[in-house]
């Protein structure tokens, strides 16, 4: 296969590219990424000279570029999105632009160039917030987004479904719970807390710490997307969960214990506006239909993640300092997608 991955320099996208190139040695991947603050070329540094990998610096909102890139591909895997809720509170416009208009550009390009297979990566946050005893989100849960981020992702989900029903575009959608693992941008909770503790700093815990999240190790997420692309039913949505619900306080305590730190390192901070209480995912559909379930337990995944950040301090130090933003200018040659790379075989 020849695959266009959008947002592949980000956390989940880069892990997916590592996963796919390793598992499918005959496949080629082109990575379209605008290299905003969350996109880091160092995430894929080992593939810079890989003939099966091509990087294109560009915006999913660039209609001409997107239309050109999709002409030779067999599938599009769409990760590109603004995703940090705190940032959506401060500046929602960019979330609407990237998550809604960018998705529309990709769908339209896929439609105009032969109805290209399209997988859309979404989030559990489109479903809103659960109470402590509510059943987990599933594919039939009504949408109830509560932030500009989740509202923009909900809109993109609806666009994807509309292109399936109206135009027959071969699409699938996945809604996943909170990912964690290598290359996660250290504004997010787990890497922020781990790197702060390595630096001897306290960890900022929102409110009373009783908000609940379901945690999914990123490689398990990649395996789920793989299963959906290869075995999923066109037009269907699949919920992907980690079967690991934890309160933020429980998660914090676990990190402290694994890093041999005490509770004096917790700094309770003012809760963010509209902070959803609980997310949980019922992944029985993807388990029953495609045979997928998480393979990495939360304890295993968290230990692996902490070890990765301990062993890759140069990576996150550059991210926290902002030096990573200069990496592209200094070291990464701007690859150009040549038509020959993705020319269809007769």
Q: Which of 124, 214, 219, 282 is catalytic?
A: 124
Residue whose pair of structure tokens reads 């005490």 in the numeric block: 262
CB 245 within 8 Å of CB 280 = yes
Q: Which of 53, 59, 108, 149 is catalytic?
A: 149
**Is 243 annotated in the active site?**
no
Any bridge partners for residue 250, and if so which? none
**Is 299 annotated in the active site?**
no
> Residue 243: which of 265, 221, 211 has the closest Cα?
221
Q: In a 3-state reduction of DSSP, which class is residue 2?
A: strand
The answer for residues whose C-beta is within 8 angstroms of residue 42's C-beta and 6 or more apart is: 315, 318, 324, 327
Count of C-beta atoms within a 10 Å radius of residue 147: 21
Per-residue CA distances from 109 to 117, 162, 175 (Å): 11, 15, 23
Q: Which of 33, 82, 108, 125 is catalytic?
A: 125
For 341, phi then psi, to 5°, come to -65, -40
Residue whose pair of structure tokens reads 């980000």 in the numeric block: 10
CB 275 within 8 Å of CB 209 = no
**Is 327 annotated in the active site?**
no
Query: What whole-number distance in Å separates Cα of residue 242 and Cα of residue 182?
Result: 16
What is the set of active-site residues?
A: 124-125, 149
């Amino acid at each position: 296969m020849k695959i266009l991955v959008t947002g592949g320099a980000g956390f989940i996208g880069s892990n997916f590219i590592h996963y796919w190139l390793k598992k499918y040695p005959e496949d080629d991947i082109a990575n379209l990424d605008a290299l905003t603050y969350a996109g880091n070329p160092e995430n894929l540094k080992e593939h810079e000279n890989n003939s099966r990998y091509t990087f294109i610096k560009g915006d999913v909102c660039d209609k001409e570029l997107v239309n050109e890139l999709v002409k030779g591909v067999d599938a599009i895997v769409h990760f590109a999105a603004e995703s940090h809720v705190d940032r959506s509170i401060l500046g929602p416009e960019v979330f609407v632009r990237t998550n809604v208009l960018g998705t529309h550009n990709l769908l339209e390009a896929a439609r105009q160039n032969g109805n290209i297979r399209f997988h859309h990566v979404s989030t559990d946050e489109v479903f809103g917030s659960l109470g402590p005893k509510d059943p987990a989100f599933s594919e039939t849960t009504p949408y109830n987004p509560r932030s500009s981020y989740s509202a923009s992702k909900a809109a993109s989900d609806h666009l994807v479904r509309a292109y399936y029903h109206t135009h027959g575009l071969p699409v699938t959608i996945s809604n996943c719970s909170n990912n964690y693992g290598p290359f996660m941008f250290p504004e997010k909770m787990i890497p922020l807390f781990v790197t702060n503790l390595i630096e001897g700093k306290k960890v900022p815990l929102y409110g009373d710490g009783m908000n609940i999240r379901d945690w999914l190790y990123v490689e398990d997420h990649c395996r789920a997307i793989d299963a959906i692309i290869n075995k999923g039913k066109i037009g269907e949505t699949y919920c992907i969960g980690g079967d690991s619900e934890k309160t933020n306080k429980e998660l914090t305590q676990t990190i402290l214990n694994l890093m041999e730190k005490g509770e004096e390192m917790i700094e309770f901070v003012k809760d963010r506006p509209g902070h959803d209480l609980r997310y949980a995912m019922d992944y029985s559909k993807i388990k029953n239909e495609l045979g997928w379930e998480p393979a990495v337990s939360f304890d295993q995944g968290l230990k692996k993640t902490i070890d990765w950040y301990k062993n890759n301090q140069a990576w996150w130090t550059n991210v926290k300092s902002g030096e990573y933003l200069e990496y592209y200018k200094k070291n990464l040659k701007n690859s150009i997608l040549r038509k020959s790379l993705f020319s269809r075989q007769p």
